[in-house]
Structure 1
């Protein structure tokens, strides 16, 4: 009962922090972690300890699966090189830099433990950056690279962490064996992801009901993660692989109703889990500080500042090096896929850390030297990147002029696609003109579809969109008038709730469609 009360109370607090974030324009993740730190010191509140195993298993699979589900595979594949350079190369480089800094601060710290600390803080958390990135119309490639990195970097960091902890327990691990282990864990995760996706693609069409289909999509993520971890391969890669594969087939596997309702369901789950993740990070501060009594305050401050600066600078160095160095090679300088320096600066600065880093730090074995200090340093690194980078990322984006101007009106590509849809519908209707039963109805509808195709043909050609906007506004006004008349009929004549709910759902879906088109039409 206490766990339920704490969870509900935290969700209520998160709603309040969401309102604060909206009014202050601070990133939501920053407000949550700072709010959690304040709550950690409120007298009388129950202590909330974050179990690392439960945290990774409970929070990571659905958040990764939701991101994978939204991933555009074509764009992901087109940007695979920069994504892997960040998700693998930047993680290893950052881990190495942090390990060197930790070794300089703590000479008696084993190299394996130093590398484990580097692996803990190396992967950025794209959920933290999303609260900033979603508010601004950034170039699609930046968003694709950052989201793609977040799908893979947790896997590379967790595998590196596992290898470092294993080396610490065994005394040493040969580089060749470590490399083969890393490859095996990654390929094993891919295999599990493919197997789960194959199985899910055969089960989903047999369920036949929207609640069952949505529930099963949750089981896919958790099942892929837990099975992979049980087989000692990468659960992160398994979840991402299964999510991307099923996302490519969702239009044939899921009914329209399931796709609509799953958006709302997954949207709530993402909000709830993201909120709980960051507020739980802040709530850990009190317990972490209590276990640092043997360290001098000045040493703690110096160590925390050194590690945080190393963490931030190492990512920037890696990203900028791979943005500029290829330009010195003539053959690569002409490659349009090379990131612009301004884009590279945004990617380098979008390095906020999150719950994966803290949960991994808490998973450090008890026998690791300076374990409590390493957990403290990881916490401060998370806090520093969230506060420093999270609060300035939007300013940097605007300052560098990376924000793309918002397109006014419906794009030519969308108008052309809508024209093709209208022409296909017109052709289908006109094919029934000679039918003795449907001919008269088809003649009435054919004119409407011809008119729709004509309007979108003009928009696609770059013509004015005033007629399109007027049509949508009139349709929307008529729809709202029909809804008001329906509600009046219900009040006066007692229409049954079942019929009323069904008709209101139709008008709600149609209004969402019209409002979306009207917004796109400018």
Structure 2
């Protein structure tokens, strides 16, 4: 791809994603729609989705940022449903969709149909987390969807390789398939376990934030590349490393954390925007290669596969939710009795995405063995993958928010979360106050009373800030005491900033001093902002 089309893709997708923030429509849907429309505009370059770029260069950083933002403890608590979805459901969907396509499409061999099943089996990590964030799903459902989307790509890619080996004439038995899956899973986890400790040690011993963040950008590619080189799952290697580093992120210095958060937000925004725009832009490429499958037949196949994909998820989710409770008294004692609503939302939140398209585009053009020739139904598989991805993103993505409102699922308990935060801050403040008193009792730490009082005031401010969010609001502005304090603090910072700029413009201070002073104000404003979020 030339530089100009790439720049147009990034700039255009970022503009659409930015505009989506002002609308109630999730950004992925607007990006896909914009890509579909742009694919018909004369002069727009033809963007062909290259699996050699998407899988090793786009998937690792998206997985890394999603996994590092996930909670290892929450995922461990939801290990059973996550495993049942990310492994069991993907294999089930591969078989069901493959068998349905084999029965539906005349002349499509079963191995090729199973290739289609493996391609469309995994829900997309980016789509799941984007929708979950936007609609405010309950924390347990969000954890399950995020956990599923982190691991299911590894299952799907392995199933795809096994089905592909049979389709191209290399032969593949059930024993070979199980062995391939175990090698990929165990190998990927092993590579992640081997890398996570030395990478964390390196992160904590590098002294400059720029070096630490450069390392952070390289980590997902290193983990993915080493695992794939060892014929293991690069997806699982990235997820294991990211979960460990995210769990121990508190051991990295504050400058690295501030910079790293900003860097990865930008990377994720650019990649997610470009990825969804690319999905829409594939329409012309897919239609050109459709070949003999056109008209009513192709539309019927697309609708049928889409329906099978959607229904198969419900067929799996409900038994996977309720059967373990029926079979295990321990589960019944430990977990609350689920209603039908949560499994329904999980079943409906199975949007597919760019990974499915990338895998589909990696299908070889020809087969080997005695029946050498074109890969059977390759163009149709590409078309059905595209229509399934678009269908799930549009139909399920658009209807999920109103469906959640209709079912009246309980969202996050903001009051309980704030209370827990306030209690945690109170405990930390008590320990910090004792530590401060011990330090000030040492004559080596002697401070003038105003400075010692300032340390205590800062500590008291942090202790009271969260509790104030639970208090009464200002009858005039509707703000809490804490909101008013933050607003006035920002007004004061803005006044200071304007003075510094005026002094620079009057040549009383130079630009280097201005940057130093503004950096100090920026850190104070960032602290105030983080208290508000």
Q: TM-score, normalised by structure 2?
A: 0.90
Instruction: List gaps (5 residues or longer) in structure 2.
Output: 367-374, 474-479
Q: Distance in 1 between matches of 2:172 and 2:507?
A: 79
Aligned equivalent of 2:286, options 285, 288, 291: 288
What is the root-mean-square deviation of aligned Cα atoms in Å?
Answer: 2.6
In the TM superposition, residue 403 of structure 1 has moved relative to its aligned partner by: 4.7
Q: In the superposition, relative to structure 1, how do residues 405 and 188 fare at CA in structure 2: closer, same or farther (>3 Å)? A: closer
Match of 2:403 among 396, 401, 405: 396
Distance in structure 2 (CA, Å) of the matches to 1:452 and 1:104? 68
1:487 aligned to 2:501? yes
- Alignment partner, residue 448 of structure 1: 457
Range with bigger deviation, 397-406 or 108-117 = 397-406
- Aligned with 1:411: secondary structure? helix
Which one of 381, 386, 395 corresponds to residue 374 of structure 1? 381
TM-superposed CA distance for 1:463, in Å, is 6.5
- Structure 1 residues 189 and 505: CA distance shift in structure 2, 3 A: same
1:314: Cα distance to partner?
0.6
Return the alpha-carbon distance in structure 2 between the equivalents of residues 137 and 24 of structure 1.
16
Change (3 A) 1:228 1:488: same
Matches of 2:34 and 2:463, distance apart in 1:
55
Equivalent residue for 2:300, pick from 299, 302, 306: 302
User: Partner residue of 1:508?
Assistant: 522
For the residues of structure 2 that align with 1:344 and 1:356, how far apart are their CA atoms? 24
CA distance in 1, matches of 2:101, 2:212: 48
Q: Does 1:112 align with 2:111?
A: yes
Alpha-carbon distance between aligned partners in 2 of 1:127 and 1:389, rounded to the nearest angstrom: 14
Q: Give the Å deviation of 1:19.
A: 4.2
Q: 1:438 to 1:193 in 2, by over 3 A?
A: same
Looking at structure 2, the residues matched to 452 and 25 of structure 1 have their Cα atoms a distance apart, in angstroms, of 36
1:148-297 aligned at under 5 Å gives the runs 148-170=147-169, 172-252=171-251, 254-297=252-295
Query: Is the contact between residue 155 and residue 236 of structure 1 (CA under 8 Å) also seen in structure 2?
Result: yes
For 1:47 and 1:130, the matched residues in 2 are separated by 29
User: Is the 1:323–1:340 Cα contact (8 Å) retained in structure 2?
Assistant: no
**Structure-2 residue corresponding to 1:425:** 432
After superposition, what is the alpha-carbon deviation per residue over 1:197-239, rounded to whole angstroms, capped at 9, x for unaligned?
2332233344322222111112111011112112211111111
In structure 2, do the counterparts of structure 1 residues 333 and 437 end up closer, same or farther at CA, with 3 Å as the change threshold? closer
Distance across 2 between alignment mates of 1:235 and 1:336: 33
Work out the CA distance in 2 between the residues paired with 1:437 and 1:283.
64
Moved more, 178-187 or 326-335: 326-335
In terms of mean alpha carbon deviation, does 379-388 or 13-22 score higher? 13-22
Cα gap change, 1:327 to 1:425, in 2 (>3 Å): closer
Contact 1:425 1:449 in 2 (8 A): no
Q: Do the aligned partners of 1:308 and 1:384 also contact (CA within 8 Å) in 2? A: yes
With over 3 angstroms needed to count, the CA separation of the structure-2 counterparts of 1:470 and 1:276, relative to structure 1, is closer
Alpha-carbon distance, 1:138 to partner: 2.2
State the alpha-carbon separation in 2 of the partners of residues 158 and 457 from structure 1: 46
Secondary structure of 2:258's counterpart equals helix
Deviations 1:61-113 (A, max 9, x none): 00001111111110010011110111011111111110111111124322222
Cα 1:101–1:438, aligned 2, differ >3 Å: closer, same or farther? same
CA change 1:509–1:136 in 2 (3 A) is farther
Summarize the Cα distance change of 1:434–1:470 in structure 2 as closer, same or farther, 3 Å threshold: farther
Distance 1:338 1:196, change over 3 A: farther
Kindly tell me: are residues 477 and 310 of structure 1, through their superposed partners in 2, closer, same or farther at Cα, counting changes over 3 Å?
A: same
The answer (yes or no) to whether the contact 1:323–1:338 under 8 Å persists in 2 is no
The alpha-carbon deviation at position 423 of structure 1 amounts to 2.5
Aligned length: 516
In the superposition, relative to structure 1, how do residues 359 and 376 fare at CA in structure 2: closer, same or farther (>3 Å)?
same
User: What SS does structure 1 have at the residue aligned with 2:443?
Assistant: coil
Residue ranges of structure 1 left out of the alignment (5+ in a row): none
Displacement of 1:301:
0.9
